[in-house]
Amino acid sequence: MARPILIAPSILSADFARLADEVVAVEQAGADLLHIDVMDGHFVPNLTVGPPIVKALKNVTKLPLDVHLMMTNADAFIPDFAKAGADYLTVHVEACPHLHRTIQSIKERGVKAGVTLNPATPVQTLEEILPDVDLVLIMSVNPGFGGQQFIASCLNKVRTTRQMLDRIGSRALLEVDGGVKADNAAAVLEAGADVLVAGSAIFSGRDYAATISALRMTKRVDDPVHR
Ligand code: DX5
Ligand code: ZN
């Protein structure tokens, strides 16, 4: 059976002065998750939001909050993000020397645990942790900014990760983040992604519903059910 295609708008490209309205708008436009990018100015060269914004957004949307931690010391903030209402907390393998402990710490708080990789980090670094995670995020840009160009070589990483997940019978979501647009969504889905993160593709247009359905309606080229 075909897996559902989930769309996660990244609020990084939203109008921050009208953030609650923007979130309500993407929820009404058919989003499945809300992707929140947390940047610490150290692991990545940018600063964004922290637990108070996650908490505030929890009050304005029923969408699951998919929180992407681009932080050097994620461990110290996991309790606060869990309390704030994160549904998924995703950490970078490059920033977590005790990745197993970090993933357990997320799950102990009743939050779904995700793991993510920068474009130059091999997928083989996931091998040992894969059975423990609820989500795998393959970065298709170098994290830090919205509106960057999709790095096509990341498609192979998506394909390999899909095989690794299938091999162990994992039901973890496979998410792709960075430069995803209607014109490359088919290739990303064909490689095996379940969740498409899209920031600038959604928020730079006027019709959020049209963009979200254009991303979602992209056919899986390898799926006979959808041919
Ligand atoms: C990049 C962030 C992404 C970003 C995606 O560091 O992790 O979530 O918002 O933005 P677009 O879709 O514009 O590449
Ligand atoms: Zn992100």
Kindly state whether residue 74 falls inside one of the protein's structural domains. yes
φ/ψ of 149, rounded to 5, equals: -85, 135
| Centroid of ligand 1 to alpha carbon of 36 (angstroms) | 9
- Of 142, 138, 221, the closest CA to residue 173 belongs to 138
Kindly state whether residue 73 falls inside one of the protein's structural domains. yes
The amino acid that residue 184 corresponds to is: N
| Predicted TM-score (pTM) of this structure | 0.96
**How confident is the model over 32-72, as pLDDT tens digits?**
999 999 999 999 999 999 999 999 999 999 999 999 999 99
- Would the CB of 119 count as within 6 Å of ligand 1? no
**How confident is the model over 134-171, as pLDDT tens digits?**
999 999 999 999 999 999 999 999 999 999 999 999 99
Per-residue tokens: 224: 């006979």
Q: DSSP 3-state assignment of 62?
A: coil
Q: Is the predicted pLDDT of residue 223 greater than 90, yes or no?
A: no
Kindly state whether residue 1 falls inside one of the protein's structural domains. no
Per-residue tokens: 190: 């064909």
Q: Quote the CA–CA distance of 63 and 29 in Å, as a whole number.
A: 12
Ligand 1 pocket mutation, candidates 177, 180, 203, criterion most atoms within 8 A of CB: 177
- Of 119, 173, 124, 123, the closest CA to residue 150 belongs to 119
- Would the CB of 68 count as within 6 Å of ligand 1? yes
Kindly state whether residue 227 falls inside one of the protein's structural domains. no
Mean per-residue pLDDT, 199-211: 98
Q: Where are the alpha helices (DSSP H) in 51-113?
A: 51-58, 74-84, 99-108
Kindly state whether residue 20 falls inside one of the protein's structural domains. yes
The mean predicted confidence, pLDDT, of the chain is 96
CATH number at residue 148: 3.20.20.70
Query: Do the beta carbons of residue 9 and residue 199 sit within 8 Å?
Result: yes
pLDDT the model gives residue 226:
41
What dihedral do alpha carbons 41, 104, 10, 54 form, nearest 10°? -80
- Closest residue to atom 9 of ligand 1, CA basis: 146
What is the extent of the structural domain holding 88? Answer: 6-216
Distance of CA 134 to the CA centre of its chain: 12
- Would the CB of 143 count as within 6 Å of ligand 1? yes
Kindly state whether residue 137 falls inside one of the protein's structural domains. yes
Please state the domain count of the chain. 1
pLDDT the model gives residue 54:
98
The amino acid that residue 58 corresponds to is: K
> Ligand 2 is a single-atom ion; what residues have CB below 5 A from it?
37, 68, 177
Reported confidence tier of residue 2, pLDDT bands at 50, 70, 90:
confident
Q: Is the predicted pLDDT of residue 73 greater than 80, yes or no?
A: yes
Place of tokens 């992407």: 68
**How confident is the model over 181-203, as pLDDT tens digits?**
999 999 999 999 999 999 999 99
- Of 108, 109, 104, the closest CA to residue 84 belongs to 109
Kindly state whether residue 128 falls inside one of the protein's structural domains. yes
Q: Is the predicted pLDDT of residue 220 greater than 70, yes or no?
A: no
Kindly state whether residue 79 falls inside one of the protein's structural domains. yes
